[in-house]
Amino acid sequence: MVKFAPNLFFMYREHDLMDRFQAARRDGFRFTELCYLGDLDVAEVKRALDDAGLTLLSFNFPPGEVIPGEKRGLSALPGHQAEFRELAAQGLDWAAQLGAGMALCPLFGLRPEGVAREDCEAVLIGNLQSILPDLEKAGLTLLIEAHCSKDFPGYIIDQVGQARRIVDALASPHVRILFDTYHTQRMEGDLSNLYQAHRDVIAHIQVGNPPGRNEPDCGEVDHRYFFEVLDAAGYDGWVSGEYFAKAGTSEGLGFLEAWGIAKQP
């Protein structure tokens, strides 16, 4: 049975951020995920998780500098290796404080003019190799996610196959793919076959239905069928909701019961 958890940066936006933990608990969730912590007090986030009885599945490492249309991270950019290590150190500290077992890699960046994509991938691989001992010591799985370059032109990793190349090059159980149905559908489509092709290195799945990145039952993708594919394949990880509720988060959760999706293990 597919297990579902809310991403509190996307869902429950009708509540202030620090109130979303209790809102998720009231809806019966026991697990959740976050995105960027930014200027949040990590100790306060931990208290909110504990007070709501929630376990944090994953969060995002600090992304690096983001300027819409100009900059979107640096993990695969030549010349920024020291900055990457600083971001990773901060993320590892947060993971230890919050008790998360997974985290998303800092954003990869927009490919500089005149720099080959393969060279950027090599930089990313080198950066990840440099922190593998830290990931292993922490017992943390770092997730590699392809983002839709139609939304973020020039983004270096925008295909699931690229993410697979990175994972294969590292050959470590501590680096895995995050498969996002919104980004993947926008870029490639063919969700079920792509999942099947890479399922051995997919550790986490996020869902959002194009074109509006809404609930799984509101959009062009038949997520019910996709969840059946996951079940048939024996997927035992989590699916998280990284979507914008169309008319209230709680009101839009009917697909869980209708499709036999669990809120707890």
List active site positions. Answer: 145, 242
Tokens of 141: 């799985």
Helix (H, G, I), strand (E, B) or coil at 45: helix
Tokens of 96: 């230890």
Counting beta carbons within 10 angstroms of the beta carbon of residue 176, is it exposed (0 to 12), middle (13 to 18) or buried (19 or more)?
buried
**Burial track 17-50 (b if 16+ CB lie within 10 A, e otherwise):** eeebbbbbbeeebebbbbeebeeeeeeebeebbe
Contact 102, 58 (CB under 8 A): yes
Q: Give the integer Cα–Cα distance in Å for 233 and 107.
A: 30
Tokens of 52: 């709501």
169, 80, 140, 154: which is closest to 112 by C-alpha?
154
Q: Give the integer Cα–Cα distance in Å for 149 and 109.
A: 11
Contact 202, 167 (CB under 8 A): no
Tokens of 222: 């038949």
In the 8-state DSSP scheme, what is residue 199? G
Beta-bridged to residue 110, according to DSSP, are 155
